[in-house]
Structure 1
Amino acid sequence: MNGFDLSRRLTAEALGTGLLVATVVGSGIMADKLTADTALALLGNTLPTGAILVVLITILGPISGAHFNPAVSLVFALRRDIDWSTAALYTIVQIAGGIAGTIAAHLMFGLPLVEASLTTRTGGAQWFAEAVAAFGLIATILGGIRFASASVPWLVGLYITAAYWFTASTSFANPAVAIARSLTNTFAGIRPGDLPGFIVAELVGAVVGFLLMAWLLRPESEAVPSARKVRP
């Protein structure tokens, strides 16, 4: 991809996911320390997350594509933009990087390296919210690539900023981030037992987003042969 070998691409994916999770968890801890107002704490968690996504996608996107998310890697494999073995390796390093990001955030705030979350996030509404969040993320990425590729970092950052507030789950939209957040018993956490429902919902939402956008973004001239093309 753009002249960067696989080892550099994997490092970029691990680094980007790690910094993303460190921002999500760290800003959640900081927000919780600074205010007892839950809405204000959520805002303090939201803005840094959207901002870091713009930075990370801008600086690491040219190296690895800046997936930082197994659901995104799955979609790019379905699009045949990357092969399945690369998608699997991306997923492994994204999860490892995300866990490292949680550990880094804990170290910065003097907390245990890992601590299973006790925050309950389960039920049909939460799962549907995660499916919607992942669907919208994929639609944003694919639409951005199609029509405004230079703006993708901002589009993704702004989408996640918005989705924090319009989804009941606060828009994890990312299996690697969900796994990493299960290891922090802080504002950003999720109980490990609640992970399966979130991860399945995120993957389903991503695939549905891919299927819809594959149809929606295909020009009519490609979808339906013209009379000239079928004329004997």
Structure 2
Amino acid sequence: MTPPARSALAEFLGTGLLVAVVVGSGIMAQSLSPQDVGLQLLENAIATVFGLGVLITVLGPVSGAHFNPVVSLADWWQGRRTRTGLTARELAFYLPAQIGGAIAGAVLANAMFARPAVSWATTERAAGHLWLGEVVATAGLVMVVFCLVRAGRTAVAPVAVAGYIGAAYWFTSSTSFANPAVTIGRAFSDSFAGIAPASVPGFVAAQLLGGIIGLLLVTGLFGRPTAGVAQEAVMAHPGEHTGHHPPQERTSKR
């Protein structure tokens, strides 16, 4: 069992570094390819895919590598009956750590490129088709994560989750923020990856709706979680697969 403070630190670092990757690579892309928005998006997406995969691999054993309030809320909601997800107390640690980490990551990226620590984004992203894109992106992310959990295939989460996000950069109209904490963080940088503060509430609402739809789809595919049947964590934690406990006693508690 990982102490909540240690898990919260992992979520803070993971979300912060993820936002630093997204915002920093966006700033770099603008510098390297100032006249080609498509190339900027490609550069931004590639950096995000590699960065996210590494962060899930490195920090997953500590906190489950959520880095996303929607994933944490879904984990808590789905595990209430079976007591295999986050507890309410753990959730209270995760959410502020993720949001605080996202803001810190944006500030760090700004500083690395000699920009003001906080430069409010001016890119407006408020339209029905963009919100629909966020619903689709977030529902798909929740499906990927929790289908892997229910199928006992969380070992491939770094590749599967990063691969999905990389694809969603291109097939969704919103370029797949799919994460309320990251959305808030990106408002702190007026760069390629930024989102105007006034556009944040609409994106977050769409992401929460997408999370609900994603969980409903997972339930439709796998049925409701059964009480007394252990499930894997989003990423396995130390000791969960080492033979220290009988299989029936393993849980996904973080």
Return the alpha-carbon distance in structure 1 between the equivalents of residues 185 and 210 of structure 2: 20
* Contact 1:98-1:177 within 8 A present in 2 as well: yes
- Which among 203, 207, 215 is matched to residue 212 of structure 2? 207
2:5 paired residue number: 7
The answer on 1:168 being equivalent to 2:173 is yes
- Which among 144, 153, 160 is matched to residue 148 of structure 2? 144
Which amino acid in 1 is paired with 2:93? L
2:29 paired residue number: 31
1:227 paired residue number: none
1:61 paired residue number: 60
Return the alpha-carbon distance in structure 1 between the equivalents of residues 181 and 52 of structure 2: 15
Which amino acid in 2 is paired with 1:211? L
- Which among 138, 155, 164 is matched to residue 159 of structure 1? 164
Which whole-Å deviations, capped at 9, do the CAs of 1:147-180 have from their partners, x for residues lacking one? Answer: 3211011000000000000000000000000000
State TM-score, norm by structure 1: 0.92
The answer on 1:180 being equivalent to 2:185 is yes
- Please state which structure has a larger fraction of its residues in helix: 1
1:108 paired residue number: 112
- Which among 130, 134, 137 is matched to residue 133 of structure 1? 137
* Contact 2:4-2:93 within 8 A present in 1 as well: no
* Contact 1:145-1:152 within 8 A present in 2 as well: no
Return the alpha-carbon distance in structure 1 between the equivalents of residues 54 and 122 of structure 2: 31
* Contact 2:5-2:93 within 8 A present in 1 as well: no
Return the alpha-carbon distance in structure 1 between the equivalents of residues 141 and 92 of structure 2: 20
Which whole-Å deviations, capped at 9, do the CAs of 1:125-151 have from their partners, x for residues lacking one? Answer: 010100100000000101122332110
Return the alpha-carbon distance in structure 2 between the equivalents of residues 98 and 74 of structure 1: 17
The answer on 1:94 being equivalent to 2:67 is no
Which whole-Å deviations, capped at 9, do the CAs of 1:51-71 have from their partners, x for residues lacking one? Answer: 111111111111101100000
Return the alpha-carbon distance in structure 2 between the equivalents of residues 103 and 127 of structure 1: 26
Identity %: 47
Return the alpha-carbon distance in structure 2 between the equivalents of residues 87 and 123 of structure 1: 31
Which amino acid in 2 is paired with 1:96? G
Return the alpha-carbon distance in structure 1 between the equivalents of residues 53 and 71 of structure 2: 16
State TM-score, norm by structure 2: 0.84
1:42 paired residue number: 41
Structure 2 portions without partners, runs of 5+: 80-84, 228-254
Which whole-Å deviations, capped at 9, do the CAs of 1:67-111 have from their partners, x for residues lacking one? Answer: 000000110011120112321321101000000100110111000
Which amino acid in 1 is paired with 2:167? A
Return the alpha-carbon distance in structure 1 between the equivalents of residues 115 and 141 of structure 2: 32
Structure 1 portions without partners, runs of 5+: 223-232
